[in-house]
Structure 1
Amino acid sequence: MASILIVDDDAHLRQSFEKLLSQEGHTVRTAASGEAALALVGSQQFDLVIMDVRMPGMNGLDTFQTMRKIEPKLPVIIMTAFGTTETAIEATKMGAFDYVLKPFEIPEVLLVIEQALEAGRFMRSRVELDVVPESASLEAIIGRSKAMQEVYKAIGRVAPTDATVLIRGESGTGKELVARAIYQHSLRADKPFLVINCVAIPETLLESELFGYEKGAFTGAVNRRVGRIEQANGGTVFLDEIGDMPFGIQAKILRLLQEKSIERLGGREPIPVDVRIIGATNRDLEASLAEGRFREDLYYRLKVVTLWLPPLRERSGDISLLSDFFLARFAQEMGISNPGITEKAKALLDGHTWPGNVRELANTLQKALIFSRGCPIGPEDVVQAIGSDSPTKNGREDVTEETIRQWIRKSLATADAENMFEYFMDTFAGLLISEALKLAGGNRSRTAKILGLSRPTLLSKIEKYRLKLETSVLSDSTE
């Protein structure tokens, strides 16, 4: 997991954090002062720092400024009491990833920590381009086909500019990796890079998540809050699944692109923000325009540069390279020897249409590696791995589906709720996550892997559906 540094002069809080984060699988170091924290950061690598503002000697803001000179891409979360919220906001403008207010609850803190760790990983782990599979790192864009050569050229041309980029392609083609490659080769590579999935965050929360809010903007807004776009000031924001962004929020993104400013919810003053926007979608935006679900003015603002990612079925010759890459990666992650793959198995992979593209190929090879028992992966392993994603013929799925249909019909017949669609979606999602948590023994990392979610997304859904989770206050101390 991650290496995290806790900086606070409160010994009880340091101990509480150390216990909590160790239980989450992280390695934790602590420091009681800014001076001690700087010595640790200068001598070893951390993935995240969580630091108090008010400390004896060197305060949190001075420590943070010095720390950025040592490790500019190290994410820092600032802790603050209610009385010093403005100080925390100032720290965020200076480049701190986020801030949390004391006293805080465990789910809230864990969610911010996971978001910060993910952002730090995106900023610090480089995406390699056009490399030999055997020598590639764990994150690389693999492919030598003509279609992929055009992608590499496009990344090289657009990365050094500040142009807005729209990445288009089917689901599973690697749009996020391309966005990160653009960021890492840009002039903003030493600034923040934040990923916002426009469908993972509930519509009612997305606007405040993006733009923040002022105190009193809505019920429960007891303090001013900086949004994700403002947090990324000077850096890059990747809006994934932007084709699914609610129509009302599209107008605010348009204003950001046109005027380089935003307004927090409940605010009246424009706030200057300097960010580069990279968007991605698998939607047919032209159809969305015709149906009135996507703004035409935003569409043209986004597609200053459009980068199309080819589906795997159109990347002749790349499947063999990708197979070698994924087998080496998964073998390393699982701590086993790479058994390799036979030519007949590769021929079988070449003949598949891969509707899920690179993501589907990766999942197939991971399953094949698990069941290969250390032998080279052959055609039978590939057939089994691909077939496991298809409905079985033993009738069990039909029985389960009919049971669900009967419950839906009964619920619809007796429904008195106004929004039945949301009711059913929330019910199913809550049950799915609850059962996955039980299957994983409560381990959230394992649960996220089972469901194919990132940990921040899982934690936000656990909180949304009020699933059973430790919610006691971590600390009731204030600065």
Structure 2
Amino acid sequence: MTATRVLIVDDESKLVRSISFALRQAGIDCLLSYSGEQGIAVAQQQQPDLVLLDVKMPGASGLDVLQTLKANNPNLPVIMMSALDATQDAVRAVKLGAFDYLSKPFDMDDLIQLIGDAMAERSPVPDDSLRESQQLEQAVLLGSSPVMDTLRAQFERIAKSGARCVTLQGEVGVGKAVVARELHRRTRGPDAPLVELNCATLAPDQAELELFGHVPTQAGGLPRRGLIEMADGGTLFLHEVEALPLPVQTRLMVFLDTGCLQSVVKGGGAVDAQLIVSTHEDLSDALIQERLRHDLYLKLSALPLLVPPLRERGKDIELLALRFVHDVAQRAGQRQITLSRDCLDHLLAYAWPGNVRELKNLIERLTVLYPGAKLEDSDLPDALRGLAVPQAQTIEEQMRDVERDLVLDALAQARGRKGQAAEKLGISRHALKRKLRKLGLQ
């Protein structure tokens, strides 16, 4: 029987060597990595049976690495290691898909037992279609930034609500179509029909025919089913809905209110279709400019889901870049590129006007031009090469930022009442006042 291969990812080199020595004594093969970025690369190249992952590391944190690992291989068991002050992050990691966690310092016998338990419970490798859908869901919601936490929470609530009309808002290239397809999969199932239409590409006299079909008025005329009827039992996804002509918006509003449609095949009747629409502009502007009916505006504004721009996602940019490095190379049959720390820092500093689409296109270009190479910032396009990269924060600066965020969060929850905020923080009102002065918040 082939020995279990465990990848150990921790920035403490002495601890990594100590763990690997104990595991090898127990007949377990070990792969060693001393950073999150290196751990992701080793996991992609060596395909370990299990990963032992530290929660807190410089650069890509354990939570960031966990999400990338699970996105690339949802069936991979990951055991988190945490110091006592990182237990909360370890618990969150379990919610994100980790098998379990151990608090440092831990007994090696406990670790070996936990590895055995994880391997015993490892589920069979899913078939290709299931693996693809699992990876898609992981990729869509990849990231640990606050804006992505918000998106994930809203996505889950909407997916469970059974809502018939959802509006996706966000800039061009943020991934609205991918979110829409995942929402369809979660609410209607992968086998239900998903019908897509870009309203901005249609001539005014074509939109009504495409959506509602055609009932012949003369004998011998051929009926044509509309896209709404074709989406029965599934989802109709309309890109750039504000581009629909006003008369077509009127008919669409009637359908949304009644759920009924004059079918070209079976006559009038109910059509069970979920409507997802997307837009890259503020729909209130379209309303003011009289390009959108007021009643349809109200309907579409009832359940919006904002897909954030890439520039607001912070370290998620690094996660997505590493994910695209893996996916692009695998799909193209090329050797993976490696992005240096300087290269990643330039990606983080760039504003990404084309959002996720622009990032993916860049990784595709670099993979074709430099297959298998380790890339430096000098290999990037001119627009990224000339950026001023911010210096890394000191530990003191990072701690100050964390403290500032905690204080602001407590004040927000207490609606500005300092007494209640102090109570939430577990300090006296006078101590809170001192902190406010120290942090420049008063």
Tell me the TM-score normalised to structure 2 length.
0.53
Aligned residue number for residue 40 of structure 2: none
Amino acid at match of 2:227: R
Q: 1:327 offset after TM fit, Å?
A: 1.0
Q: 1:201 offset after TM fit, Å?
A: 3.4
Give runs of aligned pairs for residues 98-113 of structure 1, distance below 5 A: none
SS of 2:351's equivalent in the other structure is coil
Aligned residue number for residue 227 of structure 2: 228
Q: 1:141 offset after TM fit, Å?
A: 3.8
Aligned residue number for residue 249 of structure 1: 248
Does the CA contact (< 8 Å) of 1:369 and 1:377 recur in 2?
Answer: no
CA distances 1:264-306 after superposition (whole Å, capped 9, x unpaired): 69x9964321111111100221111111110110011123311
Aligned residue number for residue 185 of structure 1: 186
Aligned residue number for residue 151 of structure 2: 151
Q: 1:343 offset after TM fit, Å?
A: 0.8
Cα distance change of structure 1 residues 304 and 230 upon mapping to structure 2, 3 Å threshold: same
Please identify, of 368-377 and 233-242, the stretch whose mean Cα deviation from structure 2 is larger.
368-377
2:369 counterpart (359, 366, 371): 371
SS of 2:380's equivalent in the other structure is helix
Aligned residue number for residue 282 of structure 1: 280
Gap regions ≥5 residues in structure 2: 1-127, 386-442
SS of 1:142's equivalent in the other structure is coil
Q: In structure 2, what is the Cα distance between the partners aligned to 1:373 and 1:270? A: 58
Q: In structure 2, what is the Cα distance between the partners aligned to 1:125 and 1:262? A: 35
2:343 counterpart (333, 342, 345): 345
Q: In structure 1, what is the Cα distance between the partners aligned to 2:130 and 2:290? A: 36
Aligned residue number for residue 321 of structure 1: 319
2:304 pairs with 1:306: yes
Which structure ranks higher in relative contact order (CA pairs < 8 Å, sequence separation ≥ 6)? 1
Cα distance change of structure 1 residues 370 and 379 upon mapping to structure 2, 3 Å threshold: same
Q: Number of residue pairs matched?
A: 257
2:213 pairs with 1:212: yes
Q: In structure 2, what is the Cα distance between the partners aligned to 1:122 and 1:170? A: 30
Aligned residue number for residue 169 of structure 2: 168
Q: In structure 2, what is the Cα distance between the partners aligned to 1:254 and 1:215? A: 23
Q: In structure 2, what is the Cα distance between the partners aligned to 1:249 and 1:123? A: 38
SS of 2:200's equivalent in the other structure is coil
SS of 1:271's equivalent in the other structure is strand
Cα distance change of structure 1 residues 251 and 268 upon mapping to structure 2, 3 Å threshold: farther
Cα distance change of structure 1 residues 303 and 122 upon mapping to structure 2, 3 Å threshold: farther
Cα distance change of structure 1 residues 243 and 298 upon mapping to structure 2, 3 Å threshold: same
Amino acid at match of 1:357: N
Q: In structure 1, what is the Cα distance between the partners aligned to 2:328 and 2:300? A: 36
Amino acid at match of 2:331: E
Gap regions ≥5 residues in structure 1: 1-120, 132-138, 388-479
Q: 1:200 offset after TM fit, Å?
A: 2.9
SS of 2:277's equivalent in the other structure is strand
Does the CA contact (< 8 Å) of 2:240 and 2:278 recur in 1?
Answer: yes
Cα distance change of structure 1 residues 184 and 353 upon mapping to structure 2, 3 Å threshold: same
Cα distance change of structure 1 residues 356 and 122 upon mapping to structure 2, 3 Å threshold: farther
Q: In structure 1, what is the Cα distance between the partners aligned to 2:252 and 2:215? A: 19
SS of 1:239's equivalent in the other structure is strand
2:191 pairs with 1:198: no
Q: 1:153 offset after TM fit, Å?
A: 1.1
Q: In structure 2, what is the Cα distance between the partners aligned to 1:125 and 1:270? A: 38
Q: 1:381 offset after TM fit, Å?
A: 2.1
Cα distance change of structure 1 residues 276 and 384 upon mapping to structure 2, 3 Å threshold: same
Q: In structure 1, what is the Cα distance between the partners aligned to 2:380 and 2:200? A: 32
Does the CA contact (< 8 Å) of 1:167 and 1:309 recur in 2?
Answer: yes
Does the CA contact (< 8 Å) of 1:256 and 1:262 recur in 2?
Answer: yes
Q: 1:308 offset after TM fit, Å?
A: 0.6
Q: In structure 2, what is the Cα distance between the partners aligned to 1:343 and 1:217? A: 69
Q: 1:352 offset after TM fit, Å?
A: 0.9
Q: In structure 2, what is the Cα distance between the partners aligned to 1:180 and 1:348? A: 31
CA distances 1:177-228 after superposition (whole Å, capped 9, x unpaired): 111121111155542121121123333322111111012489xx93011111
Give runs of aligned pairs for residues 17-166 of structure 1, distance below 5 A: 126=133, 128=135, 131=138, 140-163=140-163, 164-166=165-167
Q: In structure 1, what is the Cα distance between the partners aligned to 2:266 and 2:148? A: 46
Aligned residue number for residue 258 of structure 1: 257
SS of 1:214's equivalent in the other structure is coil
Does the CA contact (< 8 Å) of 2:253 and 2:295 recur in 1?
Answer: yes
Q: In structure 2, what is the Cα distance between the partners aligned to 1:381 and 1:141? A: 29
Please identify, of 140-149 and 247-256, the stretch whose mean Cα deviation from structure 2 is larger.
140-149
Does the CA contact (< 8 Å) of 1:155 and 1:181 recur in 2?
Answer: no
Cα distance change of structure 1 residues 143 and 339 upon mapping to structure 2, 3 Å threshold: same
Q: Which of structures 1 and 2 has the bigger CA Rg? A: 2
Q: 1:329 offset after TM fit, Å?
A: 1.1
Q: In structure 1, what is the Cα distance between the partners aligned to 2:235 and 2:131? A: 14
